[in-house]
Amino acid sequence: MSGKYLCPCRKITKKDVKEALKKGASCYKEVKKATGAGAACGHCKNKIKKYIKKQISKKDK
Give the helix ranges, DSSP H, for 1-61: 14-22, 28-35, 45-60
Average pLDDT of the chain?
92
What is the pLDDT at residue 60? 72
What is the pLDDT at residue 61? 65
Global confidence as pTM: 0.87
What is the pLDDT at residue 58? 86
What is the pLDDT at residue 1? 42
For residue 31, count other CB atoms closer than 10 A to its CB: 28
**Which CATH class name applies to 5-60?**
mainly alpha
Residue-wise pLDDT tens digits, 14-60: 999 999 999 999 999 999 999 999 999 999 999 999 999 999 998 77
Every domain of the chain and the residues it spans: 5-60
